[in-house]
Amino acid sequence: MNIPVVKVKDVEKVYGKKGSNQSHALKGVSFSILEGEFVGIMGPSGTGKTTLLNDISTLDKATNGVVQIAGTDITKMKQGELSDFRSQKLGFIFQDFNLLENLSIYENIALPLSLQGAASRKIKSKVNKVAEMLGISEILSKYPSEVSGGQKQRSAAARALVHDPAIILGDEPTGALDSKNAVSMLEAMKSLNEEQGVSIMMVTHDAFSASYCQRILFIQDGELYKEIRNTTTRENFYREILDVLADLGTHKS
Ligand SMILES: Nc1ncnc2c1ncn2[C@@H]1O[C@H](COP(=O)(O)OP(=O)(O)OP(=O)(O)O)[C@@H](O)[C@H]1O
Ligand SMILES: [Mg+2]
């Protein structure tokens, strides 16, 4: 079914107070992400990608416009409601893993469920399931300092997923990984998307990472510049992405 999991309408973001040095980071952006889609956000540095992600992820608030997630308008929510909403409906994967060093990998992955007060039996079965999906069952009793970068990132992905969020949001999720670990992370995200139907929105600079997406939105100077969809192979899509990026480079003001 074509249900939008994210709906962004006429979103504007202005940083700074009136009269001071204002920065118009988003100038009226509209798009939807359907349930089960894997969407990439690309564009030159400073064009508003992280701003967009933050306004969708409830970490910051759009100045104007509407952001709906799973049918709820988050721009109307109060701070307390927002943090509940965030912990229940969203999963995050950042570049720097954000794993807590004093907790085991198991405890890190369990965190979103522990915070919701889930029963330990439920936590155990969910953690084991996502760990198996991501190929990290063997390292659950280890601590972050004892595992590789790729294993850390897959642990972070497991934590993003363990509470069945409506969507997983990533800002450069492969940014800190070498190419081998980046590939295994991207393969893991792809299989989560294709086999479990998990919706994913990922900001990335990297055309290779982006080639794993089904659709890519290009942002330029706070506006939607172009949208492309993978209708062929990943290799062909990769070349299409490079073409748009080259285009964006030449159109840069
Ligand atoms: N907290 C802030 N206060 C003021 N201006 C900001 C703030 N965050 C971002 N900006 C400005 O908003 C614009 C968009 O920034 P944003 O971080 O969204 O870009 P980006 O596309 O994620 O860039 P990059 O690819 O380098 O991560 C930039 O001009 C930036 O300087
Ligand atoms: Mg950014």
Question: Taking the CA of residue 47 as centre, how many other CA atoms within 13 Å lie in the half-sphere pointing to its CB?
Answer: 22
In this prediction, residue 156 carries a pLDDT of 92
CA 252 / ligand 2 centre spacing (Å): 17
Instruction: Provide the domain limits for residue 194.
Output: 4-251
In this prediction, residue 31 carries a pLDDT of 97
Q: Are strands 90-94 and 64-69 parallel, antiparallel or unpaired?
A: unpaired
Atom 16 (ligand 1): residue with closest C-alpha? 48
Rounded Cα gap, residues 175 and 212, in angstroms: 15
In this prediction, residue 133 carries a pLDDT of 85
Ligand with the closest atom to the CA of 45: 1
DSSP string for the chain: ---EEEEEEEEEEEES-TTS--EEEEEEEEEEEETT-EEEEE-STTSSHHHHHHHHTTSS--SEEEEEETTEEGGG--HHHHHHHHHHHEEEEETT----TTS-HHHHHHHHHHHTT--HHHHHHHHHHHHHHTT-GGGTTS-GGGS-HHHHHHHHHHHHHTT--SEEEEESTTTTS-HHHHHHHHHHHHHHHHHH---EEEE-S-HHHHTTSSEEEEEETTEEEEEEE--S-HHHHHHHHHHHHHHHHHH--
Q: pLDDT by residue for the chain (253 residues), tens digit each? A: 567 999 999 999 999 888 788 899 999 999 999 999 999 999 999 999 999 999 999 889 999 999 999 999 999 898 888 888 988 899 988 877 789 999 999 999 999 999 888 999 999 999 999 999 888 999 999 999 999 988 998 999 899 989 989 899 999 988 888 888 889 889 888 988 998 889 999 999 999 999 999 999 999 999 999 999 999 999 999 999 999 999 988 665 4
In this prediction, residue 109 carries a pLDDT of 95
> How many distinct structural domains can be found in the chain?
1
Atom 8 (ligand 1): residue with closest C-alpha? 51
In this prediction, residue 145 carries a pLDDT of 95
Ligand with the closest atom to the CA of 205: 1
CA 3 / ligand 1 centre spacing (Å): 30
Q: Any residues with CB less than 8 A from the CB of 151 and at least 6 apart, and which? A: 105, 136, 139
In this prediction, residue 250 carries a pLDDT of 67
CA 191 / ligand 2 centre spacing (Å): 25
Please, is 66 exposed, middle or buried when counting C-beta atoms within 10 Å of its C-beta (0-12, 13-18, 19+)?
middle
Ligand with the closest atom to the CA of 219: 1
In this prediction, residue 226 carries a pLDDT of 96
In this prediction, residue 251 carries a pLDDT of 62
In this prediction, residue 252 carries a pLDDT of 54
CA 44 / ligand 1 centre spacing (Å): 11
**CATH number of the domain encompassing residue 146:** 3.40.50.300
Output the furthest CA–CA distance in the chain (Å, rounded).
56
The two tokens of residue 197 are 């139907």
